[in-house]
């Protein structure tokens, strides 16, 4: 309670001069009256102070409540913040390990790619050594193999095969006659008509070729081509008498390309046929010796001038070092 409040209360106590009509009280009465008034003032002051204290207590209590609530909220917010930080750290950790895993995978894939490229190069080197040996022994030439390869790739592309397969058919086609390494020279280079016995020896080059190409996946198509390139669509070929689609697609394609190039090339025992005559022979063989669909594709390539372009491009590169070029 302030001094002003006390002063107000004291002023409300009646201490004015007595009414002259009222008989004068004695000194003891005055004292009792004053004491009584003093007690009343003190009571009033007390109750006011009590009221103020209660009010204050209420406000304080309310404030305390608000403060607690605020503290709780603050605590919650701190907790949430800590949790969010932990989540963010966990997430960053996960991303980091994910990135590391991906980098590891990429490294492994790159190593795999290098290894398979190495294998491919080794395979191709092996092929060129094989071809060198085969073409020196045979009367075929490096340019025959180059043309066959290019014709095969053009046919495969025309049939809509994917690029990887086109390439695989191409490099595999050049090994179609590797088995001739085992064929005796006098039969291989014979210019007269072969006897049945001699012909059965010739047939063996398909089986020998397949064997020579081992078991590696890289030579899988080459093995099929070596074994089946003398099979016929009508089943009258050798060495197994397979027919139609029993013969691998690669071998059916090589068969067309190989025969066409053999017909249109000069050999010690024959002159080169014209491209028209060669194409005519291929067309005549459709459905008998050759897969008709492949013949149709080959004829279309001829009409578009693709065969002629391949032939002249290979002729232009003849000066380059090619396997078997010494056998020309």
* Nearer to Fe ion (CB atom), residue 168 or residue 177: 177
Residue 264 neighbours by CB under 8 Å, 6+ apart: 272, 273, 274, 275, 277, 278, 311
- Tell the smallest beta-carbon distance from residue 116 to Fe ion (Å): 29
- Please tell me whether residue 153 binds Fe ion under the rule CB under 5 A: no
Beta-bridged to residue 267, according to DSSP, are 270
Among 212, 258, 259, 306, binds Fe ion (CB under 5 A): 258
Residues 160/249, Cβ–Cβ less than 8 Å: no
Among 138, 153, 177, 210, binds Fe ion (CB under 5 A): 177
Task: Return d(Cα 137, Cα 182) in angstroms, integer.
Answer: 9
Instruction: Find the helix or strand (DSSP H, E) in which 187 lies.
Output: helix 185-188
* Nearer to Fe ion (CB atom), residue 177 or residue 231: 177
Dihedral angle over CA of 30, 35, 39, 40, nearest 10: 10
* Nearer to Fe ion (CB atom), residue 177 or residue 291: 177
Contact map string, positions 201 to 240, toward Fe ion, x by CB under 5 A: ----------------------------------------
- Tell the smallest beta-carbon distance from residue 300 to Fe ion (Å): 23
Residues 275/151, Cβ–Cβ less than 8 Å: no
- Tell the smallest beta-carbon distance from residue 261 to Fe ion (Å): 7
180 is a catalytic site residue: yes
* Nearer to Fe ion (CB atom), residue 144 or residue 158: 144
Residues 302/275, Cβ–Cβ less than 8 Å: yes
- Please tell me whether residue 138 binds Fe ion under the rule CB under 5 A: no
Active-site hit among 7, 58, 68, 180: 180
Give the binding site for Fe ion (CB under 5 A).
177, 258
């Amino acid at each position: 309670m302030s001094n002003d409040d006390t002063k107000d209360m004291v002023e409300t106590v009646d201490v004015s001069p007595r009414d002259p009509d009222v008989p004068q009280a004695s000194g003891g009465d005055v004292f009792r009256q004053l004491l009584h008034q003093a007690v009343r003032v003190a009571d009033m002051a007390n109750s006011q102070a009590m009221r103020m204290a209660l009010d204050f207590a209420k406000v304080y209590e309310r404030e305390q409540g608000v403060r607690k609530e605020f503290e709780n909220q603050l605590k919650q917010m701190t907790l949430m913040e800590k949790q969010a930080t932990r989540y963010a750290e966990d997430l960053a950790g996960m991303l980091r390990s994910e990135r590391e895993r991906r980098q590891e995978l990429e490294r492994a894939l790159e190593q795999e790619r290098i290894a398979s490229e190495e294998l491919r190069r080794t395979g191709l080197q092996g092929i060129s050594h094989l071809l060198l040996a085969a073409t020196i022994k045979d009367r075929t030439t490096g340019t025959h193999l180059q043309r066959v390869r290019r014709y095969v790739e053009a046919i495969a592309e025309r049939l809509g095969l994917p690029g990887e397969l086109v390439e695989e058919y191409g490099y595999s086609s050049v090994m179609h006659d590797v088995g001739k390494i085992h064929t005796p020279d006098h039969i291989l280079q014979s210019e007269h008509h072969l006897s049945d016995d001699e012909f059965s020896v010739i047939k063996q080059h398909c089986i020998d070729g397949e064997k020579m190409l081992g078991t590696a996946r890289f030579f899988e198509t080459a093995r099929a081509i070596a074994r089946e390139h003398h099979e016929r669509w009508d089943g009258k070929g050798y060495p197994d008498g397979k027919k139609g689609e029993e013969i691998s697609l690669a071998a059916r394609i090589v068969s067309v390309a190989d025969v066409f190039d053999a017909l249109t090339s000069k050999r010690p025992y024959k002159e080169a046929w014209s491209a028209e005559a060669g194409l005519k022979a291929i067309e005549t063989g459709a459905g008998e010796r050759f897969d008709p669909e492949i013949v149709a594709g080959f004829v279309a390539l001829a009409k578009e001038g693709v065969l002629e372009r391949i032939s002249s491009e290979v002729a232009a590169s003849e000066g380059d070092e090619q396997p078997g070029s010494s056998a020309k």
